[in-house]
Chain A
Amino acid sequence: MIFRLKIVIPLLVLCAAVFAVLYAVRGGVAKRVMQQSWPGSSSRLVLDNVHLKLGRELGMKLENGKVTEPAKGDRTLLGWKNASVVALSTPVGFGRLYVEEIAVDGLEAHSGLFDMSAAPGGEAGTGKDAGASLMDFDFKKLDHREILSRLTGKGELESEKKAAVLQKDAEESVEKWKRTESESSRKLNEIKDSAKAIQDKVTEQKTLDEMKAELEAIKAKSQELSGQKFDVKNVAQMKASLEQVKELKNRVQVLSGRIKEAKSQLNSDLERMKALKGDFEYVKKLKDEAENDFKRLRQEGEDVRTAAKGDAAMLKKELDPGDFGVGKITRILFGREWEEKLMHYLSLWDRAQGYITRAETEEEKAKKEMVASEKRRAASKDLPVEYHRKGLPAFTICELRLSSARAPASAGQGGDIVFGGRILNMSSDERLLGRPLSWEMDGKLGDGAFTATGVYSTLEEKKAERRMRFTLQGVQMAGREMGPPDVRVVMNKGVMRMDMDFDASMSPLLKASGSMYFENQEISLGQGVKEELRGPLQEAVSKILSKPLPFDLEYLPRRMPRISFRSDLDDVLKDAFKGYLRNRVSVEEEKLAAGFDKYIEERISAQFGPSSRVMEVWNRYGQEFVSNADLSGRLLGSGDQAIQGRAGELNRMEGENGVVGSSAANLEGERQNLEKQLLEQARQEAENEAKKRAEEEARKLIQQQTGQPQAEPGKSILDDKKQELEKLKNKLKF
C-alpha cells in the first residue's frame, strides 16, 4: 500500500501538474507555435490571443490576428477580429474532419487589386468614392502588366521593353530632327540666296556685251591695219600706222585684262558655288541621317509589333480561362508567394487524404469487411476488425461565417460590420452529408444594400437545387447615364432596386432573370437628342422607367454576357447595363477573350500611331526639306550652268583677243621692220648724199686750199667729213 502510494500518488500529482500547466498556457503555447511555424519569409502572422478548446468538441479561436508583410512597411494583407473553428473530436479518431463551425468576424483583406474592408464613408488615401463598396473589386488595376508579373514573375512584356527603347530613340530623334531642321532650313536659305546672287551676277550681260563689242572693234581695226600698204617714202604714214598698231595692242591688252578679271571673278564665283554645293551635300547628309533614324524607328516599331504579337500569344496562353485553376487565380489575385503556399497546403491535404479513408457505400463496406474477415480467418493473424463507421464525409464544414469590418484609420476605432454572411454545409461528399451547400449574405454594395441567398447541390439528380436570389436596393442613380450616344438618358435622381434569380441547373450556362425598379426617378436627355423629340422622348422614357423593367441574362464562361430586356427600353438599357458591366468587370475580360494583339496594337498605336509627335515632326521636316532643297538644288544647278556658259564665252573671247593680239604684234613687227628698212634706205641715201656732198665739199675745199686735189692730205678733210657723216647717221638712227 505504501509502495503503491509512493508510486501512484507522485505520478498522479506530476501528471496533474503538467496537465494543469499545459492547460493554463495552452493558448500561449499554441500562439507561439503558430506564429513561429508560419511558413514564408515575406509575411508574418501576428496574433493577440489563441484559445483552445478540448473535449467533445475541439476548438480554436484566434483573436485579433493579422498576416502582415514586413517588407512593405508591415502592411496588413489579411486580418480578422475573431476567427474560430470548432470540430467534433469523435471523427478525428477515425481520420475524419467534421467541422461544426468556422466563424470569421471582422475580416479584412488587402491585395494589390482590391481592398475588402472599405467603409461606406470611403477610406482616406484609397481614392475611392464616398460610398465605396466593400465588394468594389477594382479590376482596372488588373492590367496585363500586373497579371504578367503575378503569373510569370516577369515585370514587363517584351513589347513594352522594346516600346520603351523605341520611345527613348524616338524622343532623341525628334529632338535631333528639330535641330537638323532649323540648321538645314537656314543653310538651304543661304544656299538659295547665294546661288541666286551668283547666278544673277554671272548672267549679267552688259559687261559681256561691252567686252564683245570691244573685241569686235579690235578685230576690225586689226583687219584694217593688216590691209595697209606703205610706200618707202611715206614713213610718216607708216609711223602713224605703227602708232595705230601700238594703240591696237594697248586695246588688246586692256581687253585681255578685263577678260582675265572677269575670269578671275568667275573662278571665285565657281569656288563659292562649290562651297554652296558642299553645304548642300551636308544638308542632304543630315537629311539622309534623319531618314536612316526614321527607318530605324520604323524597324523598331515593327519589332515592337512583332514582340507584341509574341506577348499576346504568351499572355493568351497564360490567361487561357481553360487553364485557370485555383493556383493561377490565386497567383493573379494574391501573387506567386500565396499561390505557392496554397499549392503547398493543397499538396499536404492530398497526402493527408491517404490517411483519411474515403466514406464508402454500405455494399462496399460489407464486402470489404467480409473479405478482410476471410483473410484473417485464413491467415489467423491478429488483424483489427473494421466495423461500419457512421456516414461522414472526409471533410465537412457545417457553417462558415464571414463578416468584414471597417479598416480603422487609427488604433482604437471599432469595426462596424458592413458585410456579413454564412456558408453552410461545405462538404467533400454531399451525398453522405445529405445536405447541399447553401449560403446567405448581406451587406453594402456601392451606396445600396444587397442580400444574396442561394443553394447549390453537386448531385446530378438535384440539379434543380442550384439557384440563388440576389436583391439590391437603395442604389442612388443620380448622375448615371444610360443609352447609346445619340439617345443619352441621364438620371438626375432616382433610386434603383433590383431582384435577380439565378439558375445554374444547366451549368456551365448560368441563367438569370430579374427586374429593375426605379423609384422617385427624374431623367433628362443628353445633348444629342433633337429638340423636337425631347419632350415626347422624355415622357416616354419616364413612363417606361416608372414600371418594373424585367430582363433576362445568360452567361457562359469565355463569352460576354447576353442580356435581353423584356421592355420597350430594351436597347437603351441594354447598352447602359452592358456599359456598366464593361466598366466594372468585363473590359479586361473582354480584352482577354477578344485577343491581346488588338489590345496591345491599340496601346502601341496610341503611343506611336500616325498622329504621334514622331510622325508629325518627321513629316514637317521632310516636307520642309523637300521644298527648300529642291529649289536650292535647282538654283545651284542653273548657277553652275551659267558659270560654265560665261566661262566658255570668256575663254572664247580671250582666244580671239589673243589672236588679235598676235596679229597686232605681227603688224607691229612688220611696221618696225618696214620702218627700219625705210630708215636704212633713207640713211643710205642720206649717207650717200652726205658722202657725195662731203666729197664734193672736200674737193672743193682742197681745191680751194691747194688749188689741187689732194688725196692724202685730203684724208684728214675726208676724215672730218666722215665723222660728220657718222654723226649724221647717228642722228638718223632711232
Chain B
Amino acid sequence: MLWMLRKILLLLSSEKSPAQLAAGVAFGFLMGLVPAGNLIWFALLALVMLLRVNLAMWTTAMVVTKALAWPLDFAIIAFGDMVLHRESLRSFFTAMFNTSVVAISGFNRPSVMGGLVLGAAAFAPAHFLAVVLIRYYRRAIMPKLDRFWIIRLLKGSNFYRFYSNYSD
C-alpha cells in the first residue's frame, strides 16, 4: 500500500505524460465497473496492455473503483438490465446474441452491460478530469507539498532514503 502510494506520488510528480496517467485512470475506472472473468474484460485488458496506458494508475484506479462500486452493484445491474431490455436495441442485441463469439462474451449479463455502458460513458470525462487534475497537482499542489515541513522531514530521513533506494 505504501509502495503504491509512493508510486502514485512519484508518477504525479514525474515527467510522465498526463495523458498516459489519465488513460490509466480511465481504463481502471472502466474495468473496475465491468465484472472480471468474461471476454469483454479480457479484451479491455488486452487493450490496456497494447496501448500506452500507465499500469500503476490503471491498477490503482481499478481497485478503487471496484471498492467504491461494490455497494452500488444493484444499481449497475438494474441499469444493465434496463439497457438489455431496451426495445430499440433488441434487434442489435439479438444479432449479437446469434454470433458465436459475442454470444459467449457475456454481454447479455446486466452487470457486464451496465458496467460497460457506465464505464464507457464515463471514460472520456474521467480521462479529461484526470488530465486536468494531474496538471493542477503538478502546477499547484506539488510545489506546496514539497515545502511542507513533514514532507521535508520525511524526505530527509534515513528511512526515506533507504526506502527510496531499495524500492527503486
Binding site for B on A (CB under 8 A): 1, 3-4, 7-8, 89-94, 373, 376-377, 380-390
Contacts and interface: CB of A to CB of B under 8 A. Distances in A.
Contact of B94 (A7, A91, A384, A387): A387
A377 B81 contact: yes
B90 interface: yes
Contact of B98 (A90, A373, A376): A90
Given A373-B85, A380-B74, A380-B78, A387 B104 contact: no
Interface string B69-110: 000001001100100110000100110011111011010111
Nearest to B51: A4
Contact of A385 (B55, B81, B101): B81
A1 B110 contact: no
A389 B98 contact: yes
Contacts, number: 56
A732 B101 CA distance: 172
16 contacts: A1-B52, A4-B49, A90-B98, A90-B100, A91-B100, A93-B104, A94-B100, A94-B103, A373-B85, A376-B110, A384-B108, A384-B109, A385-B93, A385-B109, A388-B97, A390-B98
Please classify how large the interface on chain B is, using the bins under 10, 10 to 19, 20 to 34, 35 or more: 20 to 34
Task: Point out which of A93, A380, A383, A387 has the most chain B C-beta atoms below 10 A from its C-beta.
Answer: A387
A380 B78 CA distance: 7
B74 A389 contact: no
B100 A92 contact: yes
Given A4-B55, A380-B77, A387 B93 contact: yes
Nearest to A94: B103
Chain B interface, >50% SS class: helix
A385 B92 CA distance: 14
Contacts of A387: 90, 93-94, 97-98, 108
Nearest to B96: A387
A373 B108 CA distance: 12
Given A90-B98, A93-B100, A7 B49 contact: yes
A164 to B, nearest CB: 64
Nearest to A390: B98
A3 B56 CA distance: 11
A7 to B, nearest CB: 7
B109 A382 contact: yes
Given A3-B55, A8-B50, A93-B103, 8 more contacts: A7-B49, A89-B100, A382-B77, A382-B110, A382-B111, A384-B109, A385-B93, A387-B93
A381 B111 CA distance: 9
A664 B111 CA distance: 157
A385 B97 CA distance: 10
Nearest to A382: B111
Nearest to B95: A387
A7 B49 CA distance: 9
A249 B34 CA distance: 159
Interface string B47-64: 001101001000000000
